[in-house]
Structure 1
Amino acid sequence: MNDNNSLVEAFKQTKYKVAGHGTRNIQILKEALKDIDGKQESDVYGKGKIIEDFQEKMAKYLGKEAAVFFPSGTMAQQIALRIWCDKKGLKKVAYHPLCHLEIHEEDGLKELHQIEPILLADKNSLIQLEDVVRMEENIACLLLELPQREIGGQLPEYKTLEDISTYCHEKGIKLHLDGARLFEILPYYEKSAAEICDLFDSVYVSFYKGIGGIAGAILAGNQSFTNESKVWKRRHGGDLISLYPYILSADYFFDQRVEKMKKYYEEAKDLAGLFNQCHGVSTQPSEPVSNMFHVHFAAPKEEMEVILSGIYQETGIGLTSNIKGISKTTCYFELSIGEMYAQTPKEEVKNVIHLLDQKIRGISNI
């Protein structure tokens, strides 16, 4: 395939893109700033009304004593685990084998903080209470990611979370929440963010995933924890002279979208249902538990790229620009529902799925 016919190029040319909130361009910042007084003072090295008001707002929303704004979740979570390790005098933590810290951060936790991770559960399964109870190693902190992104955004039963939280508190193990997509799971659990966060000693949330801001994260916990996190933030170089473009966009899109998560969730279930009627296609989970899920194809990555490129050119509707191979005969992509899905004509979406079904049936041995 030449570049003009590549999946990425075909996707860019589509009129409708079913996932996310739209193209990540400068318009995101322009929209967030459109009603801001240009004379408003910026934050300066972590201080000032802009950052302090937002931190207070998020602490209240998450039900924690205090919160600190970070330029990235990678920085925030490494710092959280470092604080809990230092408090216990033990540099061991536990998390899922497909945790972001393990597979996407170039061993930052190990190289920067000399913290040893203990991997719990099979990589294709969620961490359950028995995994924690049977753990032989003594650890300072357990990290749970809700939802578990790399296996389709799966979630444990809420009772499991409660049981793990109780066990950790009884054993003196700190419990940290990787809540990069916390807002997105509230409709499934039918709980408030504060109710879920009450099970955890510390929590991180992202403002560019489901919320659709530019970048940035909040780390929340008790006052002592957040005070220490500010020191580590400075040590990591996270105290930029001003973070207001990230803060203002996070605040703006939080207000715009956090109450729409139930709508996105329902739309994700509808779309997954269509995919699951298609030959050689399945979703993980079979019924999504948030606005995000994985779409699996019983076909090689290269063939699916050709098929999807053709469908995009024929219909003007894009599903994804990035397919990941699993084996020689299977592949998948991740899909998150946001503002764009509602703007896509539903009959045209059904037509895309119909075409997908036809074309996959045309592949031999499927």
Structure 2
Amino acid sequence: MDGDQKASLNERLRAAMFASRHSIFPAYRTPAEVFDGLAEACRELGIEEWDFYGERGPVALLEATVSELFGRPVTYFPSGTMAQQVALRIHADTAGHRRVAMPDLSHLLVHEDDGARILQDLLIEHLTTGRTTPTRAHLDVIPGPLAAVLVELPLRDAGCLLPTFEELTDLSQACRERGIAFHVDGARIWESQPFLGKELPEIAAVADSLYVSFYKGLGGLAGAALVGDEDFLAQARLWRHRMGGTLFHTTPEAVAALVGLRDRLPRIPDHVEWARALAAALPDSITVQPQVPHTNTFLLYAAGEPDDVNTRLLAATEERSLAFSRPWSAAEEPGRVVTELTVGDGALDQDPNTIAGLIAELLP
């Protein structure tokens, strides 16, 4: 299949998934549907004023809501990329040097065009390499001073892999023993909480700073927040302004985040359990990473060629009007394919054994 044919297949798959009446993934809604819902949410939540430059109105309500969830002060940011660069910048400035450690699969290194190095002049060490969750032992082999250690919960590019809470706590303590700031990339902290088995305030307490996202598991439009102590957040607000993060209005994003916290957050444990049921029902010919999903997102590997599998996927999606698998791509190992699945509300109306059977039928 040549490049034009592959592009056409990908576009047809995308259209078929959006057109499906049912989906195991987070639901697709048109802009008009989203904006209609936000208007209704403003009435339901009693929001009658706009925020101004990240203050007042729904942004203030969102910060108060998240602060109550984590038991610590919170500051809103328009993006996670900005929030995490700010957090590491503050820790580096406080330490008086630029050396920080994070997994080589960290989102900052894989997906953000090297922004942390280029914009914040950080010297980055690899805390771990590959599909490994960081522990105290990984920190112990990095000599010399570090301004900060970043841990991504979960490590998305490893199949949303998580440490145990005990491992996380031990690593945090190791950082404190060496005077290193401990920062948690919690873009999917909501989805991680069931596996960690602790309430959000207990998870937040292990970190000097914590980033959370409002658009991933919560289904918001955009936006993020930093959790930390008041002195840290005062510096964060200053850097947010310096970096152009105090937009005139972010009311739509804040309202969407409030809706996600109200409507989606309580259902995330059900999404995780459904994901585990699906993984358990898949045949042995399909490798699940991790074997028992830690969150509602995980990877599938199998023998096959992407074009063949995706051609069958397109036919099955159109025939059933059911989006049950993302497109597959070539895996690192020749002759194998991989896809990432994220379970959303629609999955709860489907039988995981049935979906497992449909996925198995895609493969040779």
Note whether the superposition's TM-score is higher than 0.5.
yes
Deviation at 1:13, TM superposition (A): 3.7
**Residue among 56, 59, 71 paired with 1:51:** 59
Q: Secondary structure at the match of 1:122?
A: coil
Greater alpha carbon shift after TM alignment, 24-33 vs 335-344: 24-33
2:188 alignment partner in structure 1: 181
What CA distance in whole angstroms lies between the structure 1 residues aligned with 2:266 and 2:93? 37
Work out the CA distance in 2 between the residues paired with 1:330 and 1:54: 44
CA contact (8 A) 1:32 1:253 kept: no
Q: Secondary structure, in 3 states, of the residue corresponding to 1:34?
A: helix
1:204 pairs, out of 205, 211, 214, with: 211
RMSD (Å) for aligned C-alpha atoms: 2.0
| TM-score normalised according to structure 1 size | 0.91
Bigger Cα displacement from structure 2, 83-92 vs 308-317 = 308-317
**Number of equivalences:** 355
Q: Who is 1:326 aligned against?
A: 331
Partner of residue 81 from structure 2, selected from 74, 85, 103: 74
Separation of aligned partners in 2, 1:199 and 1:140: 17
Deviations 1:83-139 (A, max 9, x none): 000001110111011101101111111111111111122212221221011112421
Tell me, yes or no, if the aligned pair for 1:292 and 1:335 is still in contact at 8 Å: yes
| Structure 1 unaligned blocks of 5 or more | none
Distance change >3 Å, CA 235–CA 282, structure 1 → 2:
same
**Native 8 Å contact 2:153 2:186 kept in 1:** yes
Residues 53 and 336 of structure 1: is their aligned pair in 2 closer, same or farther, counting only changes over 3 Å? Answer: same
**Distance in 2 between residues matched to 1:248 and 1:356, nearest whole Å:** 36
Q: Which amino acid aligns with 1:48?
A: R
Counterparts in 2 of 1:112 and 1:359: CA distance versus 1, 3 Å? closer
1:248 aligns with 2:251: no
1:293 match: 298
Q: CA deviation at 1:155?
A: 0.9
For residues 13-44 of structure 1, the C-alpha deviation after alignment (integer angstroms, 9 at most, x for no partner) is 43322112334634223213304259822111
Question: How far apart, CA to CA, are the structure 1 residues paired with 2:164 and 2:30?
Answer: 34
Q: Distance in 2 between matches of 1:42 and 1:357?
A: 49
Does structure 2 conserve the Cα–Cα contact (< 8 Å) formed by 1:322 and 1:333?
yes
Q: Which amino acid aligns with 1:177?
A: V
**Equivalences for 1:1-366 in 2 at 5 Å?**
2=5, 3=8, 6-23=12-29, 25-37=31-43, 40-64=48-72, 66-275=73-282, 277=283, 280-327=285-332, 328-344=334-350, 346=351, 350-360=353-363, 363=364
Task: Give the secondary-structure state (helix, strand or coil) at the position aligned to 1:293.
Answer: strand
Q: Please give the alpha-carbon distance, in whole angstroms, between the structure 1 residues aligned to 2:155 and 2:260.
A: 23
Amino acid at match of 1:155: L
Shift of 1:308: 1.4
Q: What SS does structure 1 have at the residue aligned with 2:150?
A: strand
TM-score by length of 2: 0.91
Q: Structure 1 residues 178, 213: closer, same or farther in 2, change over 3 A? A: same
**Cα distance, 1:288 vs. partner?**
0.9
Code of the residue aligned with 1:178 in structure 2: it is: D
